[in-house]
Amino acid sequence: MASFAAQPDSYGPLENDYLWVPQLCPICQVKPTEFLGYRGGNAHRQSLGVMCAVWKCGVCGLRFPNPMPLPKRGLDQHYDVDPSRYFAGHDQDVKYAFARRLLKIAKKLVGERGALLDVGAGRGEMLRAAHQNGWDAIGIEPSPTFCACAAEYSGCRVFQKPIEDCDFPLGSFDVVILSAILEHLYNPDITLCAISRALRKGGALYIEVPNEDGLFYRAGGFYHALRRTGWSIHLSPTFPPYHVFGFGPRSLRMLLEKHHLEPTLWLTYGGRNVTPRLNGLVGKVEHIATSMVVRLSRFGSLGNFIETWATRR
């Protein structure tokens, strides 16, 4: 699931810790056309991270910073932390139970237990559940600390490198899990291409991402426009949980279609209010308002998160 509760490093990142690279939409390969505001640093209520300009693609609606802040020290700059710290807001038993629920759906979609790949294995809850329920499970986890934790907890083999560098044979897997990962990737197009290649025809891919078209983000955008702050509430490119791309239904469907993946199950849901509460009257009013928005987002198609199962054509 989503909404990590990791705390930022006490010293805070600096602008010089990043390479600032002009960014095209990875789905449409065009420049973004709609400026949404700034995020991070002086454009954050807790001054987290470094300030970025957040844009929206005019074709598919994907949100991303432009220029993109690429960590100079690679992924370890963000993710070489203790897993218990990064996943502080996640109960391991709850995630394990959630993994078992996903496995039941996976078995119905592909017909039998087979080869499963968990991309972004985290602490290894999915791998452990899959291994204990008769799946041939393998994980991918680029973070060295997460990788070691996932391998020990699950008893499965976990590769410490991106899927595009793994050279899996064509059609190696019956099921691929990509839960709360796609929004972290610096090139989701390349990753989905590699996943599609590794997934057999008729195989199933599970994706869970924040819904940047959801009611929470719409209400937040309206709030900052009303106050003329110039801020965006989309993404967190330079502070935890380090979301660098923001998907909505249109952009996610277009990315899946591009790589021969057809959604067969689709769900939006509300989630919970994880907005930090500030002191004082303004903080209290904001907390009440965001809580109401989150409750309302549980109805209809404007939930905070998207879950989908897509079949490889």
Q: The domain 15-312 is classified under which CATH number: 3.40.50.150, 3.40.30.10, 3.60.15.10, 3.40.630.30?
A: 3.40.50.150
Domain residue limits, the chain = 15-312
How does pLDDT run across 82-130, given as a tens digit for each residue? 988 888 878 899 999 999 999 999 999 999 999 999 999 999 999 999 9
Q: pTM for this one?
A: 0.90
pLDDT of residue 3: 37
For residue 165, with 0-12 CB atoms within 10 Å meaning exposed, 13-18 middle and 19 or more buried, which class applies? exposed
pLDDT of residue 300: 74
- Mapping DSSP to helix (H, G, I), strand (E, B) and coil, where does residue 275 land? coil
State the Cα angle at 62 between 61 and 68, rounded to 5°: 140
pLDDT of residue 4: 37
Write out the chain's pLDDT in tens, 313 residues: 333 334 444 457 999 999 999 999 999 999 999 999 999 999 998 999 999 999 999 999 999 999 999 999 999 999 988 988 888 878 899 999 999 999 999 999 999 999 999 999 999 999 999 999 999 999 999 999 999 999 999 999 999 999 999 999 999 999 999 999 999 999 999 999 999 999 999 999 999 999 999 998 999 999 999 999 999 999 999 999 999 999 999 999 999 999 999 999 999 988 776 676 767 776 777 767 777 777 777 777 789 999 999 999 9
Structure tokens at 260: 């021969």
Cα–Cα dist 251/60, whole Å = 5
pLDDT of residue 282: 66
What long-range pairs does 191-196 form, CB within 8 A, spacing at least 24? Answer: 191/119, 191/162, 191/163, 191/164, 192/255, 192/256, 192/258, 192/259, 192/261, 193/164, 193/259, 194/162, 194/163, 194/164, 194/166, 195/119, 195/163, 195/259, 196/259, 196/260, 196/261, 196/312
CA atoms within 13 Å, Cβ hemisphere of 69:
25
